[in-house]
Structure 1
Amino acid sequence: MRGSLFFVCLLFSLAVALDNGLARTPQMGFNSWNYYYCNVNETHMANAMDDIVNLGLDKLGYNYVVVDDCWALRERDAQGNMQSDPKSFPHGMKVLADRAHSKGLKFGLYSSAGYTTCAGRAASLGHEKQDAKLWASWGVDYLKYDNCDRGDVPAKKRYGDMRDALAATGRTIFYSICSWGTDGVAQWGAQYGNSWRTTDDIYNGQDAVTYNIVANDVDAAYAAPGGWNDPDMLRIGNGGQPIGLDRIQFGLWSLAKAPLILSCDLLKLSQKQLDVIRNTEVIAVNQDALGIQGRLVYDSPNQYQIWAGKQSNGDQVVAVVNLQSAGATLRLPFNLLKFAPSAQLKIRSLWDHSDLGIFSEGLDVKVAGRDCVMLRLTPVIDVSDKIFRLQPKGLPGGMRPSDQNNVNGNVETGSWNSEARMKWKVLDAGDGYVYLVEQKNGFYLDLQGGQTAVETSATTFTFTGHDSTKWKIVASPEPNYYKIINKASGFVLDSYKCNEVGENPGGFAGGFIKTWYDVNTPCQQWLFVPV
């Protein structure tokens, strides 16, 4: 039955997600539309490639360079192929793709899932296989696929046909669905594309930015590595948008795991604007491997908002947004983020790369008018020289040596009974690591034979000082829980069989504890209960 259930689950997962190996984190890059509109030409695109490299943006992840609408003629050639406009793109798309690749960048094109594009140029409805094959021959890496002039053909049919056509080319092409949030696209987008627009086009101004990101928030549950909600491109560098609003948009887009697509004259960006789009700590939030979309957790209409999202190392990142014209001091209560009342949090300001200190209960945040503050909150656990019961999530017991008296015995989970062997003292081992010492015999938590391979059994042993006896305690994405990471192997402590799909996800009494890859399962999350 286990095997059958696993097979069914595997088939289901394949049915509900496009897996072309792309979009493990949200895409970053440049698109021509918001600045050049239909006046785009090959010089603009070549310059954008040069600017991305010269400004160091490629090193930060801005790798896709996409020419939007108006690159193609209205008519196809005698063989039915799309044609580049010879006036604006006299050398054709392959030359641009080759140029992008020579600089370590990736090249993207635009079309529409309709009979014509939004600007009335040739589009791809009914020509999916022919167009996809042509683009692949040019070296295209990315397709933005719009929603104009679609007739009465259902969205899933139109976008599904292009998905299949791209796959059939044998070239890996990022598939960006631009259906403006219609037809419930977020609910099925992951089956079809690597990202999908959740909103209509964005324009300058606070109302437009906040409207799009709040609308995008509704669909947060559908975003994950491989496929992302898209509230449209960044407006930074367009129309004199104030720097505070630039920070609001870039910060919220990063927290929401939205695509970070620039669309401006990059050489006209001010130093302050460059500081925003090149902020490595905020970009790291967007590109975090956990891939959980940050959410709106507090909203005082027209006054301020608090957004928050989990990160793979257990931190939470928070954006405190002031929607008022005047500066204000805004309260960030930690219970809003589901931290325990006793939690202490180390807080770092991401815009100015500064540590603010360690705080409990909450923080008063000074925010300029129409601006936002981005904070990284790291739980701090004070464990040194204290005694705890170590309880894996989902099991009301704790960790203990399986043999009450012998050295080098396996470590298991067991029901709590106040035995000394279930109590562990945490001692400082230096360099951010600790020893875990059981209190019946004074043995140290170690790995079997000091081995460093994955799935090595945890044991107890006399003191050696070896790295296999040293452990780092780091916050889990689950508030108030922690991961226990071995210094010698780098693997996490995992209670019994959490590494097996569908097998005992909460652990059980008597199960041996081993090391495993860090995959954020419940049995890799430990509660330190003072005893």
Structure 2
Amino acid sequence: MKTNFFFLLVAFFLSHGISAQKFDNLALTPPMGWNSWNSFQCDGVNETVIKEMADAMVETGFKDVGYEYIVIDDCWQIGRDENGYIIVDKEKFPSGIKSLVDYVHSKGLKFGIYSDAGTKTCAGRPGSKGFERQDAETYAKWDVDYLKYDWCFTEGQDAIASYTLMRDELFKAGRPIVFSLCEWGENKPWEWAKDVGHLWRTTLDIDMGARYDGNIWGNLIGWSDLVDMQVGLEKYAGPGHWNDPDMLAVGNNNMPENEARAHFSMWCMLAAPLMAGNDLRDMTQVDHSILTNKELIAINQDVLGKQGFKIEDYGNFEIWQKPLTNGDIAICFFNREITDKNYEIDWSKIRVKDFEGDYKIKDLWQNTIVGATDTKMSIDVPSRDVVVFRLSK
């Protein structure tokens, strides 16, 4: 009886992925990089674009502040050969993917690729279902560093089984690859994906065009809606396993400066992956300064690896906290209104966790010390904008 129980227990562990085969020591801070989809989607992506984005990531200083992945998102593959190995679209990528990977690596950057757990990708290209081994072997042979794995055309598939299968094939192929699960939060990946991937989407796609029109935000899901969906998920995130509320929309569809600043700030507070999606060759100085703000990036990349959480909610005015190393604390005042907000801060009354003694206060967007927590202060938070402080002992 005991022997039978032992075998049943082993079978249970194996079937539930307890014996995880995920590459460790990857994505110890949220991945930072650039993804092709938001700007180029399927029709616009090609070999020249990817090379020029790699060049621009270096030339614009993005690499210097931590951005490192260049990720092709769909539309690079066109078929499979007689052995099931993926065929590259030679019209778009005449030199092949391995040559492109080598080019990106020559810039001191890392290369990311895209596939799908279903029969087809979201753009209708060949998916990986049934060919997980061949694809994992191919990515390892090409020296790929990052895989975004989507969830289109997966009717009848089990998400845990599908993603675990690709995890195992990547591990068998032998090359450490950051595994980004993109099943849109449909199966609550935060509850099971820690041992499967390094990051997982918690939401549907961001609506880059969402704007306030007096009543609602856009037709799809605006970035502030995605913020709401992260509430309560902070306990699932940490080094090597991150909640992902989708790519950054800063620099796309003429996002206003206040919105871009708030959007980027909240992604940093949430310890979200920072995947830019704008055209790095042609961006405004405002967008550049937002996406390369070292003080905010330091909040995002803090090695303690804590996701921020909401500590006060006054309707359309919220206060968020993110614990940092050395006992520092990031505090974000988020004004969701279409009018400016004046707020009187009494640090003794705000419900900041692990708040002990006095702290100096640095305004991270102004890059100035603005006081200390032993006195009350007044701040003005513009419409759809933020004020972000770093509190230090």
TM-score w.r.t. the length of structure 2 is 0.89
Equivalent AA in structure 1 for residue 366 of structure 2: D
Alignment match, 1:390: none
2:52, 2:281 within 8 Å by CA — same for their partners in 1? no
Shift of 1:332: 3.8
Q: Which has the larger radius of gyration?
A: 1
Runs of 4+ in 1 over 6 A off after TM superposition: 11-14
Gaps of 5+ in 2: 1-13, 212-216
Pairing 1:121–2:125 present: yes
Q: SS of the counterpart of 2:82? A: coil
Pairing 1:67–2:72 present: yes
Distance in 1 between residues matched to 2:240 and 2:376, nearest whole Å? 35
Equivalent AA in structure 2 for residue 90 of structure 1: P
Shift of 1:331: 3.5
Pairing 1:245–2:259 present: yes
Shift of 1:16: 6.9
Gaps of 5+ in 1: 1-10, 380-531
Shift of 1:370: 1.3
Alignment match, 1:320: 333
1:320, 1:372 within 8 Å by CA — same for their partners in 2? yes
Please list the CA deviations of residues 122-141 of structure 1 after superposition, one character each: whole Å capped at 9, or x if unmatched: 01011111110011111111
Deviating more after overlay: 362-371 vs 129-138: 362-371
> Taking structure 1 as reference, are residues 339 and 136 closer, same or farther at Cα in structure 2, changes over 3 Å only?
closer
> Taking structure 1 as reference, are residues 13 and 92 closer, same or farther at Cα in structure 2, changes over 3 Å only?
closer
Alignment match, 1:46: 51
Q: SS of the counterpart of 1:321? A: strand
2:151, 2:182 within 8 Å by CA — same for their partners in 1? yes
> Taking structure 1 as reference, are residues 34 and 217 closer, same or farther at Cα in structure 2, changes over 3 Å only?
same
How big is the alpha-carbon RMSD for the aligned residues of Structure 1 and Structure 2? 1.9
Shift of 1:364: 2.3
Equivalent AA in structure 2 for residue 345 of structure 1: Y
Pairing 1:308–2:321 present: yes
Distance in 1 between residues matched to 2:136 and 2:17, nearest whole Å? 26
Correspondence list, 1:237-276, <5 A: 237-276=251-290
Alignment match, 1:110: 114
> 234, 246, 249: which one pairs with 1:235?
249
2:250, 2:260 within 8 Å by CA — same for their partners in 1? yes
Pairing 1:364–2:368 present: no
> Taking structure 1 as reference, are residues 134 and 17 closer, same or farther at Cα in structure 2, changes over 3 Å only?
closer
Alignment match, 2:60: 55
Q: Identity across aligned pairs (percent)? A: 39
Correspondence list, 1:452-531, <5 A: none
Please list the CA deviations of residues 307-363 of structure 1 after superposition, one character each: whole Å capped at 9, or x if unmatched: 1110011011011111122222123443311466x8322100001210002232643
Correspondence list, 1:127-206, <5 A: 127-204=131-208, 205=210
Query: Quick one: higher RCO (CA 8 Å, sep 6+), 1 or 2?
Result: 2
Distance in 2 between residues matched to 1:137 and 1:51, nearest whole Å? 26
Equivalent AA in structure 2 for residue 293 of structure 1: Q
Deviating more after overlay: 211-220 vs 105-114: 211-220
Distance in 2 between residues matched to 1:14 and 1:172, nearest whole Å? 20
Q: SS of the counterpart of 2:351? A: helix
Please list the CA deviations of residues 387-427 of structure 1 after superposition, one character each: whole Å capped at 9, or x if unmatched: xxxxxxxxxxxxxxxxxxxxxxxxxxxxxxxxxxxxxxxxx
Shift of 1:81: 1.1
Distance in 2 between residues matched to 1:248 and 1:216, nearest whole Å? 15
Q: How many residue pairs were aligned?
A: 366
Q: SS of the counterpart of 1:144? A: strand
Alignment match, 1:294: 308
